[in-house]
Amino acid sequence: MSVWKALARGVWLESLRRKDLWVVAILGLLILIAAGALGIFGVSGLGIFLKDLAAGVLSVASTIVAVMISTRLLPDEIRQRTLYPLLARPVSRLDLLLGKLLGAIAVSWFSFLMLALLTGVALLMFRVPFELVMLQYLFVKMMGLAMVCALGLTLSTFMTPAAAATLTMILAFASAMISRALYMAGSGQPSMTWLYKIVNGVVPQVHLFDLGALATYSWPPLSTAVVSILFAYGLVYSAGLMSLAWLKFRREAI
C-alpha cells in the first residue's frame, strides 16, 4: 500500500506540474460566469434545463480528464525514461500499474468533485433544490470514472497514447449507442444472437454509471441493490482490465 500511495502521489504531483487541474478550474469559473449572466437576464422556471446542462457538462468534462490522464501515464514514463529507476527499486510491474491507476482515479475524482461543487453553486443561484438522487448521481459517476481510468490505462499498454485516448473516448461516450446497435443486430439475426451478446458483454457499459437523466427529472434514487450491482460490475470489469494490462506489461521489453 505504501508503494501504491507513493506512485499515486507522483501522478498527482505530475498533474499539478502539467497544470491539468487549471483547465478544470477555468471551466468551473466559466460555469459560474455563465450562471451569473443568465441570472442577470432573469431566467427562471428552467430547473430541468439547468440540471440537464449541469449533468452534461460534468459528465463530458470529467470523462475527458479521466481519459487524458490515464492514457498518458505509462507512455510518459517510458518516453521520459523515468520508468527505469522505478523498476530498479523493489517495485513490481503490477505495483506500478495499480499505483498509477489509483493516482489517475484520485485526480479524476478531485476534478469531478471540484466541478460538481462549482456547478452546485451555480444551481443554487437559480434556487434549484438539492435532491438525494443528485448525491447518488455523484457517487455512481465516480465509479464510472474509475472504470474509465482502468480502460484508458489498459489500452495504453496495447497502443499509442493518441490511439488509446481516441478509443477510450469512443467507448466512454458511445457505449450506449454501441450496446443498442449490438442488440438490434442480434435481434435481426437470431442464429448469431449469442455472439452479439458476448461482444456486448465485452464492451464496457460506461453509460450505466451516468444517472444524469434521473437527477434532471428528479426521479427517486436507485435502490441499494442496484447501486451494489453497479459497484460490483465496475470493480470486476476494472479488475479484468488491469489483469490484461499486467499480462501485457509484464512481457514488455523495456
> pLDDT (tens digit, 9 = 90+) per residue, 60-111?
888 988 998 899 888 877 777 777 777 666 778 888 888 889 989 998 998 8
For the chain, the residue count is 254
pLDDT band at 59 (very low <50, low <70, confident <90, very high): confident
Say if CB 25 and CB 114 are below 8 A apart: yes
Range with the poorest average pLDDT among 38-47, 64-73, 141-150 = 38-47
Average pLDDT, the chain: 82
Cα–Cα distance, 35 to 53 (Å, whole number)? 11
Q: How many CB atoms lie within 10 A of CB 53?
A: 18
Residue 20 pLDDT > 70, yes or no?
Answer: no
* Residue 82 Cα to chain centre, angstroms: 26
Question: Which grid cell is 170?
Answer: 469512443
Q: Going by C-beta distance under 8 Å and a sequence separation of 6 or more, which residues neighbour residue 251? A: none
Cα–Cα distance, 152 to 58 (Å, whole number)? 19
SS3 125: helix
Tell me: the pLDDT tens digits for 178-193?
A: 888 878 877 777 777 7
Which pLDDT does position 131 carry in this prediction? 79
pLDDT band at 54 (very low <50, low <70, confident <90, very high): confident
Range with the poorest average pLDDT among 54-63, 95-104, 137-146, 191-200 = 191-200
Q: Which residue has the higher pLDDT, 75 or 139?
A: 139
| Environment class of 172 (CB within 10 Å of its CB; exposed 0-12, middle 13-18, buried 19+) | buried
pLDDT band at 152 (very low <50, low <70, confident <90, very high): very high
pTM listed for this prediction: 0.86
The residue type found at 54 is: A
Which pLDDT does position 28 carry in this prediction? 67
Cα–Cα distance, 123 to 59 (Å, whole number)? 16
pLDDT band at 254 (very low <50, low <70, confident <90, very high): low
178, 194, 196, 197, 200 from 190: Cα distances, Å: 18, 8, 10, 11, 15
Say if CB 241 and CB 151 are below 8 A apart: yes
